[in-house]
Amino acid sequence: MTSQPEPSPGHLPSGRLPVNRRTDDSAEMITETEIRDILRPHVGNRPISQLYLDGGPISRLYATGEITDATIPALGVLAADLDDQAADQVDDVIRYARDVGDRPPVPRWLASH
């Protein structure tokens, strides 16, 4: 059986990506639009001393699709501060960020949906 090469995180297709690392067809999917919908209430509404303030890694993911080494830790801090349902949604974004890996801002991130 021939395995297919892993795509480079900077060149992953946009749109629907697996929420988790399962590769079967039953894997739950999340879209870039859903990511923005999940993050929208949490962008820029926290004290400056916190990691997920406006202009921080969560704001950059929301606005540009950029994922850095600070994105997942900031999402984890955010999830710990939320009720169970909202934290589960942020966990979906964390899995997306892990699957995609570090990447620069995505052209047309907001315009694509």
Does the pLDDT at position 51 exceed 80? no
Report pLDDT for 71: 94
Residue of higher predicted confidence among 44 and 103 = 103
Report pLDDT for 78: 92
Q: Where are the domains of the chain?
A: 42-107
The model's confidence at residue 52, banded by pLDDT at 50, 70 and 90, is very low
What's the gap between Cα 82 and its chain centre?
17
Report pLDDT for 77: 93
Max alpha carbon distance in the chain (Å)?
52
pTM beyond 0.75: the answer is: no
Does the pLDDT at position 83 exceed 60? yes
Instruction: Please state, for a pLDDT cut of 70, what percent of the chain lies above it.
Output: 63
